[in-house]
Amino acid sequence: MAGIVGVNAIAQNTTTWQGRQCAVVLTYDDALNVDLDNAIPALDSLGLKATFYLSGYSGTLDTRLKDWRAAAANGHELANHTLFHPCTGSLPGRGFVTSDYDLDNYSVRKITDEIRMTNAFLKAMDGKTERTFAYPCGDTKIHDTAYIEWVKNDFVAARGTQPEMPAIDTIDLYNIGCYAINGQTGAELIALVKQAMEKHTLLVFLFHGVGGGHSLNVSLPAHSELLHFLKQNEKNIWIAPMLQVAEYIKQFQTGLK
């Protein structure tokens, strides 16, 4: 019987996550300078590819367009984080949301026009026609209306913000959860990866500041420790941008039907 259990374990490992134990997606939000100055050099030094959720209005898309284009040419995903990053201002802790960009004041037409405008902008930057989306602040609705319904065909997947490590067959491709990182140590980040390896799940990291640049921050040493652990375990962990992982999940889930 032990042999049969062994065969099943191998079968599970070879049919999910490109034959590896889990998938890890590194995502970086809001087009910060530190993405270009700290995160991308660290990723590139190890040959790891990540996803960057960019809002069209972000200053770095103007001032550092060449750097973003170089990142895309080097295999990183430039992904859609809307044009103006609207969030629901009525929720607790949302004092930073101005009335002009309060999702409560938006129409579906307005948000979907802005999302499509951002896709056109990103296409002008990288020439790509497929990408993923991330909900600003994780807010998926205008009042009771889930706006993704109008733009699902424009994206392979969308990332939310609920912390979870789902198995491949249970992932909601249009609200993929993630772990928002703020102040964790390298050991704590690596512990999350080990959990995903044990459970054979998807694990998505969400970073804002990397070595500064945002009030939600990961230190450079913690970020570096995580990346080195991923690189050292590349044979067992599939590390790829959200687009590639989401396409794989979509194929897998379609195959199950």
The binding site for Zn ion (CB under 5 A) comprises 29-30, 136
User: Regarding beta strands 141-142 and 145-146, do their DSSP bridges make them parallel or antiparallel, or are they unpaired?
Assistant: antiparallel
Judged by CB, which is closer to Zn ion: 21, or 55? 55
Residue with the CB atom nearest Zn ion in the bound state = 29
Q: How far is the CB of 233 from Zn ion (least distance, A)?
A: 29
For 13, 83, 87, 98, 160, the CA distances from 139, given in Å and listed in that order, are 34, 15, 6, 15, 8
Q: How far is the CB of 85 from Zn ion (least distance, A)?
A: 6
Judged by CB, which is closer to Zn ion: 178, or 197? 178
Q: How far is the CB of 96 from Zn ion (least distance, A)?
A: 11
Q: How far is the CB of 86 from Zn ion (least distance, A)?
A: 10
Q: Return the number of other C-beta atoms located less than 10 Å from residue 161's C-beta.
A: 20
Identify the H or E element spanning 166.
Answer: none
- Which residue, among 202, 147, 141, has the nearest Cα to 169 in the 3D structure? 202
Q: Which residues contact 33 (CB under 8 A, 6 or more apart)?
A: 60, 64, 213
Strand (E) positions, the chain?
Answer: 22-29, 51-54, 77-80, 133-134, 141-142, 145-146, 158-159, 179-180, 202-207, 209-210, 217-218, 237-239
Judged by CB, which is closer to Zn ion: 137, or 190? 137
- Which residue, among 218, 198, 221, has the nearest Cα to 210 in the 3D structure? 218
- Which residue, among 201, 204, 190, 132, has the nearest Cα to 161 in the 3D structure? 204
User: CA 52 to CA 29: how far, in whole Å?
Assistant: 6
Q: How far is the CB of 33 from Zn ion (least distance, A)?
A: 15
Judged by CB, which is closer to Zn ion: 29, or 35? 29
Judged by CB, which is closer to Zn ion: 29, or 139? 29
Judged by CB, which is closer to Zn ion: 136, or 186? 136
Compute the CA torsion angle 138, 175, 188, 200 (nearest 10 deg).
Answer: 180
Judged by CB, which is closer to Zn ion: 30, or 35? 30
Q: How far is the CB of 1 from Zn ion (least distance, A)?
A: 50
Q: How far is the CB of 141 from Zn ion (least distance, A)?
A: 16
